[in-house]
């Protein structure tokens, strides 16, 4: 299990605040990221068992070919682009526009060392599922105790 680092957490908070207020003042008081709950897209679930880490990211409206994923150390970065509605050049009037569009990037720190050579990802029905094998050094080991 990774140890908690206050400075890393503060740096993550600073990056999230910078991201939320990027573009503030351009025709609106707060950018869409602030209005939509902090701009964390995609929303993710991260769980583990003895052998693997499982990350599920909700990416509705994103073509799997528009997704990019990279891993460095125990940090996984997911980026891509969600396209907007194309009316085919005909004018239209929006009555409500809550679904964000554009480029996104989400960096997730994984809890422990991983095996970079054993990562699998698939996307189905707007859910990206990533399976990451833990490094041997991160797996629990049973130690035999002998009676003296």
Give the model confidence (pLDDT) of 27-85 as tens digits: 554 444 443 444 578 899 999 998 999 999 999 888 899 899 999 988 999 999 888 77
Please report whether residue 52 resides in a domain. yes
Find the CATH number of the domain harbouring 65: 2.60.40.790
Q: Which residue has the higher pLDDT, 63 or 25?
A: 63
Same domain, 59 and 114: yes
Per-residue pLDDT of 130-146, as tens digits, reads 999 998 877 777 888 88
User: Which pLDDT score is estimated for 2?
Assistant: 56
Please report whether residue 105 resides in a domain. yes
Task: Quote the percentage of the chain above a pLDDT of 70.
Answer: 83
Same domain, 76 and 111: yes
Same domain, 5 and 35: yes
Q: What are the CA-CA distances from residue 19 to residues 71, 79, 94, 110, 123 (Å)?
A: 21, 14, 26, 21, 26
Same domain, 55 and 116: yes
Neighbours of 134 (CB within 10 A): 21
- Could you tell me the residue range of the domain that residue 55 belongs to? 41-83+100-139
* Overall domain count for the chain: 2
The reply to whether the predicted model has a pTM over 0.75 is no
> DSSP label at 16?
H
User: Which of 49, 42, 55, 41 lies closest to 121, judged by CA?
Assistant: 55
Please report whether residue 145 resides in a domain. no
Same domain, 62 and 107: yes
Please report whether residue 93 resides in a domain. no
pLDDT band at residue 97 under the 50/70/90 scheme: confident
Q: Is the pLDDT of residue 120 over 80?
A: yes
Q: What share of the chain is helix, strand, coil (3-state, %, to 5)?
A: 20, 35, 45
Q: What are the CA-CA distances from residue 8 to residues 20, 45, 127 (Å)?
A: 18, 21, 29
Please report whether residue 50 resides in a domain. yes
Please report whether residue 88 resides in a domain. no
User: Which pLDDT score is estimated for 31?
Assistant: 46
User: Which pLDDT score is estimated for 101?
Assistant: 80
Tokens for 33, please give them: 């990221």
Same domain, 104 and 118: yes
């Amino acid at each position: 299990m990774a140890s908690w680092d206050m400075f890393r957490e503060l740096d993550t908070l600073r990056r999230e605040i910078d991201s939320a207020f990027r573009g503030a003042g351009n025709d609106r008081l707060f950018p869409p990221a602030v209005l939509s709950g902090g701009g964390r897209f995609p929303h993710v679930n991260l769980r583990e068992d003895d052998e693997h880490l499982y990350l599920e990211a909700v990416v509705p409206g994103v073509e799997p070919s528009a997704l990019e994923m990279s891993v460095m150390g125990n940090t996984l970065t997911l980026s891509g682009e969600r396209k907007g509605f194309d009316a085919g050049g005909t004018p239209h009037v929006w009555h409500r526009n809550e679904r964000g569009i554009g480029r996104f990037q989400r960096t997730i720190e994984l809890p422990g060392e991983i095996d970079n050579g054993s990562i699998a990802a698939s996307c189905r029905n707007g859910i990206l599922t990533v399976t990451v094998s833990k490094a041997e050094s991160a797996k629990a080991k049973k130690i035999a105790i002998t009676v003296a």
